[in-house]
Amino acid sequence: MTQNPVEIAASSPSHHHFTISADVTTAAEVPHDGLGFWQFMVAGSIAGMVEHMAMFPVDTLKTRMQMVGASSAASCSSCPTKSHRQPQFGRFLASIMRTEGPLGLYRGIGAMGLGAGPAHAVYFSVYEVCKEKFGGNLPGHHPLAHAASGIVATTASDAVLTPMDVVKQRLQLRSSPYSGVKDCVARMLKEEGLRAFYASYRTTIVMNAPFTAVHFATYEAVKKVLSEVSPDNAREERLLVHITAGGAAGALAGAVTTPLDVVKTRLQCQGVCGADTFSSGSIRMALKQICLNKLVHGRSACMT
């Protein structure tokens, strides 16, 4: 029969200090799910790098599709802003492969490589610390603690990632005027100033806050449900549980925040390749202009 630390301390005074200090040391070294703080930073950084690199071709296609109709005037015939047809994933993929080759899907990946590692290290470490502080690690289900932790984490990480995300988006455009990451950064600083790197930061926060809240609340809920289905095999099924929970959470959160993601892309790529510019980083103004352009393009398509 195994005694708990209180019983051991009561029955053997000579081991009292040893037992308490051993428990405290263990709790300090292994505060979250068996991992220490620095381990979460490393794991988060690696996870972020792998995630963005693996999905980068899809992200390129998403950027191209979101920039359709970004210009109120058809002033750039080589850009995707001139098309009035409904953007289709297959059509964009075929066009890139035909005109740019497979490497066209990876243009700008260097910028994401520079930003994703540090940003995700901040993201996961802040999330785990906040989850502990907000009571998310206590027994039971705590969706509000998980959601609040996610919001704080994404606010911190977006401050790190946004500048490189802007560079990445601009390099992903068809016929991008920039030769690479260094050229893009230098020209943006010279022509637009430091503010250009954070033009979409407010939109990014407004988008990612609900995204992260929905994502982590759903993730923790699905993980808990799946773990309770077969508690005896929880350790063996841990990877499958994390994958399933993460997939469900990401799909739901993405569906909720896609409109704001379009606004973010337009703000980051404004003035590039004939795209319209915005007088401010106002989400409301950007949405109004996007809807107006869509209406104008729709009428033009009906008249041709």
Say whether 35 sits in a helix, a strand or coil: strand
Q: What percent of the chain has pLDDT over 90?
A: 24
Give how far the C-alpha of residue 47 lies from the chain's centroid of Cα atoms, to the nearest Å.
12
CATH number of 33-67+86-174+183-303: 1.50.40.10
Token readout for 47 is: 């996870």
DSSP secondary structure code for residue 271 in this structure = T
The per-residue pLDDT for 17 is 38
- Output the average pLDDT for the chain: 75
pLDDT digits (tens, 9 = 90+) for 202-230: 888 888 877 777 777 777 777 777 667 66
Nearest to 176 by CA among 106, 119, 231, 129: 106
Q: Bigger pLDDT: 19 or 144?
A: 144
Q: How is the chain split into domains, by residue range?
A: 33-67+86-174+183-303
Q: Name the helix (H) or strand (E) containing 69.
A: none
Check residues 6 and 97 and name the one with the higher pLDDT. Answer: 97
Within 10 A of 235 (CB to CB), how many other CB atoms are there?
9
Prediction pTM value: 0.70
What count of other Cβ atoms lies within 10 Å of the Cβ of residue 199? 21
pLDDT tens string 108-136: 999 998 998 889 888 888 888 898 899 88
The yes-or-no verdict on residue 20 having pLDDT over 80 is no
Distance of CA 15 to the CA centre of its chain: 49
CA–CA dist 73, 24 (Å, integer): 66
